[in-house]
Amino acid sequence: MSVAFRRESDEEHKEPKFELPLPAGPNMVTPRGPALLAAKVAEIEAAVAAESNDEAREVLKRELRYWHTRQSTAQVAPVPEEDVVAIGSRVRIRLAGKERVIDIVGHDEADPAADRIAFQAPLARALIGAETGEFVAFNGKPDAIEILASEVIPD
């Protein structure tokens, strides 16, 4: 048999596993962010310890490296000024005739279904720096959003 048709193992033909990509920019979080990150790390560490399948364990370890990096690079954002939208603000807005309350949080804290959006999201970027009573442009429309109220996200 020719050496050209022999394979030593299947490992050499698998796709390489790259690290999970980190979001660009600083890793800003709200005051509750470090506790959320610590809980996520503890959850994955427990899953790694409980996993008996080597391949599944490697996937979990890769995810754990991501969360360790996020935990070690987290920077708590300064407390927002009263009536000024910033990371850590709960904002009541009027957009397209509808009122909505959203929290502006760090990337890893975001949950759009629960109205917690990351500070890098287009809507958050439009709002940050605005003050209560102001109108801001959004989606190419001037005065698309009215800031009705802004306060620090309660604990």
For residues 115, 119, 122 and 123, what is the CA-based torsion angle, rounded to 10 degrees? 40
* pTM (2 d.p.): 0.81
For 105, counting Cβ atoms within 10 Å of its Cβ (0-12 exposed, 13-18 middle, 19+ buried), the class is buried
Q: Is 122 helix (H, G, I), strand (E, B) or coil?
A: helix
The Cα–Cα gap between 32 and 106 comes to: 10
Cβ-based burial of 148 (10 A; exposed 0-12, middle 13-18, buried ≥19): middle
> Residues 44-63: pLDDT tens digits?
999 999 999 998 999 999 99
Query: Which token pair is 51?
Result: 């996993």
Q: Band the pLDDT of 16: cuts 50, 70, 90.
A: low
Count of residues in the chain: 155
Q: Give the DSSP H/E element, type plus range, for residue 49.
A: helix 33-50
Q: Is 48 helix (H, G, I), strand (E, B) or coil?
A: helix
CB atoms < 10 A from the CB of 20, how many? 12
Of 68, 54, 52, the residue nearest 19 (C-alpha): 68
The answer to whether residue 4 scores a pLDDT higher than 90 is: no
* pLDDT tens digits along 69-121: 999 999 999 999 989 999 999 999 999 899 999 999 999 999 999 999 999 99
Does 1 have pLDDT greater than 60? no
Give the Cα separation of 107 and 97 in Å (integer).
28
